Structure 1
């Protein structure tokens, strides 16, 4: 992922123009951070993630808070979770697999059931508090192959900007002054821009104009050895989660109408490290590449309101709606380039130098997530003694995602907001996710199964992945036991997803893409006590 656009270096040594950012990256982040598949306890996950028209579970705190109105006794529950992520990565006609496992606390909840009033149409009220993890980002991508296209290298990204102004529009002196060598004998230097880092590592060189001085040499810049085949390897590690603390209250009117409201304090933590390494075959460099690191932290809040209505004992319907989560975000993006020589000439030029660290970028912005609404029904078999079947439709307004900044320059703020919004409108679409599930009861035993269809939120084909191929079908199941004192539930869910990742962007023919098939399995154990 490239976070900031490489600047166009001007003729004056002190002037380096950095663009505000790659607006598509922020639109992609808004989607990535809010692409939920399942949440809640093992009971609700085992039945497909249905939460609109079911009650009496800690999942209601973050789902439909009206379901807390079904509680007639207090409860404490803990739900540890394991995520198994396996990626199959096809890159340059070669396939590699990578696996990553993550342990987390998926849900931690406490519900206080109120006393039933002696004379009131309101039969009971309940209050709940929970910690829940809605989205886990743990992923590992590892791809490798031989790129036969001589024009396909990430170094050409820098040449596009450097050479866009014509001959000598950028002087060697500008890059030289943006590059700071390390101490004598040090292997690490620093640079203001990635272009200056590539220059300092002798990955790019200026055209010589007569005088052969840094004041006179300059664009067009070029790669010393452009006509070589390269082995390329891309690794990307993602960690972090989208989680929230939620406080909910619900009431029960005559055991027919259940109303609830909740408020959440959300926390977002995302870390990504991506390394692209190129090894020229029979070139002067043994290998060179770059490492990108992105750290994102966010804090936000949202509100949810819901209702469940039971017209008859064996049937109930539910509705809930959640405001967008309004986040304040802070990110740090850092990048380093590295190079190791093979020929004696390059090794002599580099000396001890092997790594150039580019000045990091800190950026703060606001993020508004999609509006969400859910509706569904539950039918109880045998009056609830045999079990139930349930279904839900979740509406997610991805086209409503927004970002904004708070700079002194009003025009900069307006441009950033408008540009990200345009990318969102062009790339994403609103969707309706469909879920269905069932539970069968036999004495204290519970058997559960569910399925969810999550259509693609993409309007366009992106990174050589067709938009329709990004849809997902989540299969889930579970088993549990429950008596008057405690319960224990286990659930498992599985789905596959396709995605594309381009390590750099040139013209279409020269941009390689990693085609990834991501298989995710979640196993959760929920343990609870009634009191």
Structure 2
């Protein structure tokens, strides 16, 4: 059934509110962050791409690195990832063992076609490469819980309808009792109203009151997410006199992101309620493209420098958001607006899914790096990266002309108020002994937030190590990467920041990758 006019108006009001601007600014960051990419070899080196070549990671890293290839190659990189989290909410820490399951994936596969060397030409050789790579993983999951003496989720609903001065007639229009498959609401307040969880105090409606605004609640919740940003990349490079290496690429990305969350208020000694449960599901699909230009210059056999400029990723994104509310009542009765006990007509109400489409311009990126080589004994390499998060942009054509412009302008302002341009650092080294390789690496990914209003530093530390074997016919590399960082999740917001709480999350994911390749 199509959305009624009042439901559409409610959706537009959500998408043009300050909360929505913050949401889409956060979404832009989520789809734009890149922590560590590449083959097992490059991940063991801390994700350094700027000034090293001769690896399949060069296809989507610094494409100039393809100019080092002297023969063709095929490689494949299976991996296992473990999302390890601890969540603290209202002073209670929960280790989410059930969500720490391992995830098998194929984050990298590539083929490189190298030309024969031209000994009589200054342009010595060239190579063309195609790769599939996982740029980002959204695997995560945690449980949380604690006793809240100050508020419940229903307070968020009350503040929303009272601030908007929503009328009873609007709430009734946002509900369809005869929808195919059962009754459905077109807004969360409409579901609460039909379940007698919020009641009007005037004939028009506002101000509304909660059926129970005083009882203490035990709050529990869960969050699980999955998906990835993956990319097909096509790159070409060559080298001039085995000194100057130049390459470019174009990448076609795909976004897949899904999360499911639950939130429960279990009422303690309430005269009306036993519980109110919230359920959310969110699905995102998107596609985009980007391009980059890279160069590496070899000063001598022991020292070389390189750098890459990567364009923003231009993406088109479609999302679907759905909710459901369930409640339990003392003895199956609830107090109605007139003060009398009634049997509520609904104990569960789904909210119709909301679709939204928008375009995202990601951050401009760049990096520079240097590598010191110790003949055939190994090398040290370092990279400095720039990420222009404050330049991200989000726009839509889904609303009215005025609504589209407001959404664009206000989301831009929120991005600039929330995020700063970041500088990241990477360091790695490789030791060689005949066919054996040993590697260590690390990276510091700086906090992209302009201010830490919740007191959480979101910078990330990555530590990696690996070993490998390389012969004239094949190579095999094994790498493990440990990452540690903090994040936060807020189940609901209220006007008074002292009345609600956020989940403080400690993330310590582990990724183990094997890259195998053959020369041809």
Partner Cα separation in structure 1 for residue 342 and residue 471 of structure 2: 75
Question: Are residue 398 (structure 1) and residue 389 (structure 2) matched?
Answer: yes
User: What corresponds to 1:465 in structure 2?
Assistant: 455
- 1:341 deviates by 2.1
Alpha-carbon offset, residue 118 of structure 1: 4.9
* 1:93-492 paired onto structure 2 within 5 Å: 93-98=91-96, 99-149=100-150, 152-164=151-163, 170-181=166-177, 189-207=183-201, 216=203, 218-283=205-270, 284-346=272-334, 349=342, 353-381=346-374, 383=375, 385-407=376-398, 409-462=400-453, 464-466=454-456, 469-492=457-480
Conservation of the 8 A alpha-carbon contact between 2:212 and 2:273: no
Q: Is the 8 A contact 1:229 1:281 kept in 2?
A: yes
Aligned-residue offset at 1:182:
5.9
1:50 aligned residue (48, 55, 80): 48
1:342-367 deviations in Å (ceiling 9; x for gaps): 33324995567332111221111110
In structure 2, distance between residues paired with 1:493 and 1:351:
53
Cα gap change, 1:407 to 1:143, in 2 (>3 Å): closer
For residues 268 and 15 of structure 1, the distance between their equivalents in structure 2, rounded to whole angstroms, comes to: 29
Deviation at 1:407, TM superposition (A): 4.6
Distance, in Å, in 2 between the alignment partners of 1:102 and 1:58 is 23
Separation of aligned partners in 2, 1:116 and 1:29: 46
Deviation at 1:440, TM superposition (A): 0.2
Cα distance, 1:164 vs structure 2: 3.2
CA distance in 2, matches of 1:164, 1:435: 48
Alpha carbons 1:100, 1:139 under 8 Å: kept: no
Residue 206 of structure 1, CA deviation:
1.7
Cα offset, 1:245, TM superposition: 0.0
Shift of 1:143: 0.3
Evaluate the alpha carbon distance shift between residue 434 and residue 408 of structure 1 in structure 2; reply closer, same or farther with a 3 A threshold: closer
Partner in structure 2 of residue 4 of structure 1: none
TM-score by length of 1: 0.91
Q: Distance in 1 between matches of 2:10 and 2:295?
A: 57
What is the alpha-carbon distance in structure 2 between the residues aligned to residue 139 and residue 528 of structure 1? 30
Paired residue secondary structure (1:19): helix
CA contact under 8 A between 1:202 and 1:350: conserved in structure 2? no
* Shift, 1:171, TM fit: 4.2
In structure 1, distance between residues paired with 2:377 and 2:140? 40
Kindly report the root-mean-square deviation, in angstroms, between the aligned alpha carbons of the 2 structures: 2.2
SS of the residue aligned with 2:508?
strand
Asked if 1:19 corresponds to 2:13, the answer is yes
Show CA shifts across 1:400-425 (max 9, x none): 11011125743322211111111111
**Conserved 8 A contact 1:263-1:303:** yes
In structure 1, what is the Cα distance between the partners aligned to 2:288 and 2:12?
29
Cα pair distance change 1:407/1:55, threshold 3 Å: same
Is the 1:441–1:447 contact (alpha carbons within 8 Å) kept by the matching residues of 2?
yes
CA distance in 1, matches of 2:8, 2:261: 30
Change (3 A) 1:365 1:171: closer
Contact 1:79 1:527 in 2 (8 A): yes
Equivalent-residue separation in structure 2 for 1:427 and 1:14 (angstroms): 29
Q: Distance in 2 between matches of 1:164 and 1:331?
A: 27
Aligned residue pair count: 503
**C-alpha distance after superposition, 1:317-376 (max 9, x if no partner):** 001110000001111111111112233324995567332111221111110011110100
Equivalent in 489, 495, 500 of residue 501 of structure 1: 489
Provide structure 2 residue ranges, at least 5 long, that are not aligned to the other structure.
336-340
**CA distance, structure 1, for counterparts of residue 266 and residue 24 of structure 2:** 31
* Mapped partners of 1:269, 1:15: distance in 2: 28
How much does 1:179 deviate?
2.2
The 3-state SS of whatever aligns with 1:343 is helix
